[in-house]
Amino acid sequence: MGAAIVTFGECAQAAGRLADALGLPCAEVELRRFPDGESLVRVPPSPPTAILYRSLDDPNAKLVELVLAAAALRENGARRVLLVAPYLAYMRQDMAFRPGEAVSQRVIGQLLAAHFDALLTVDPHLHRIERLDQAVPDIPAISLSAAPVLASALNDAELLVGPDSESRQWVEAIAAPRRLEVLIGEKQRNGDREVAVTIQGIERAAGRSVVLVDDVISSGMTLVAAAQLLKQAGARSIEVVATHCLASREDIARLHAAGISRIRATDSVPGPLGCLPLTQLLAAALEPQLAAIALR
């Protein structure tokens, strides 16, 4: 096929699973960071198609290293470089809310389009646009939904709750196949870690097994506020499933202290909650892309 997966050390396990599913070799980028913060990137010799795998949590250094790796792969034999970024950063800021703000979605989208021939990601945090290719122009930009993966973790859920209006699309997509009841909260944010949540119809949580569903767990404060309301309403149990978990161990401990018995997320971001593999979802999306390349 003339393709291989190339990854960075922190993503080696997830990238290796994807390589096995596709029957491709997997190699690792050599990375050295100098005391002044600069990065030295060294890539292996590349076949004609290189699939560069890296999630963009903690994105600032990683973005620079991705661009360096893409350039090095082309200089070492790759004619096409595809990016698989299960978590894609900088998609939240899609407009300037105050004078002088950079629109990071547009800037980073254009940066990635300039250095990669295609992009594959999962549940990017898009607000006012419908398609990823509106943010990442001129290349195939594919956004996958983790709904099937999250749905497999619901077990005995009786009620799904989205903690805010932004979570509606994920909650409803997961609930539909199982015809589960859904409640959607409203959020008022007073700061990065100060959140007030209301949930209309919360009385329906009494005596029921409730699962909170979200795309991203950042600090977890929205989920804490929602869990406290559900506990007060008499929920029998409260769990969380999410696509991406960026939370620290301290944040996760705070979620458990709020009454959440179990928290599960996909392996999009390396960390303590990467327990729901995206392997088959990513492989199914990549296979037709690789088949089309092989026919050229």
Residue-wise pLDDT tens digits, 57-71: 999 999 999 999 999
Report whether pLDDT(140) > 90.
yes
Could you tell me the sign of the dihedral formed by the alpha carbons of 54, 19, 271, 72, in that order?
Answer: negative
Catalytic residue among 187, 204, 208, 254: 187
- Summary mean pLDDT of the chain: 91
Region 183-193 average pLDDT? 74
Q: State the pLDDT at residue 136.
A: 93
Report whether pLDDT(272) > 80.
no
Beta bridge partners of 5: 26, 51
Angstrom distance (rounded) from CA 266 to CA 258: 22
**Residue 178: which residues within 8 A CB-CB, separation 6 or more?**
151, 154, 157
Q: State the pLDDT at residue 127.
A: 75
Q: State the pLDDT at residue 117.
A: 96
Name which of 39-43, 74-78, 146-150, 192-196 the model is least confident about: 192-196
- Give catalytic status of residue 231 as yes or no: no
Q: State the pLDDT at residue 7.
A: 98
Angstrom distance (rounded) from CA 88 to CA 85: 6
Sheet holding 26-28: strands in order across? Answer: 26-28, 3-7, 49-53, 80-84, 118-122, 141-144
Q: State the pLDDT at residue 192.
A: 56
Residue 249 burial by Cβ neighbours in a 10 Å radius (0-12, 13-18, 19+): exposed
**Residue 227: which residues within 8 A CB-CB, separation 6 or more?**
212, 238, 240, 255, 258, 259, 260
Domains delineated in the chain: 3-145+278-294 (3.40.50.2020), 148-276 (3.40.50.2020)
Name which of 5-14, 120-129, 134-143, 249-258 the model is least confident about: 120-129
Angstrom distance (rounded) from CA 104 to CA 126: 12
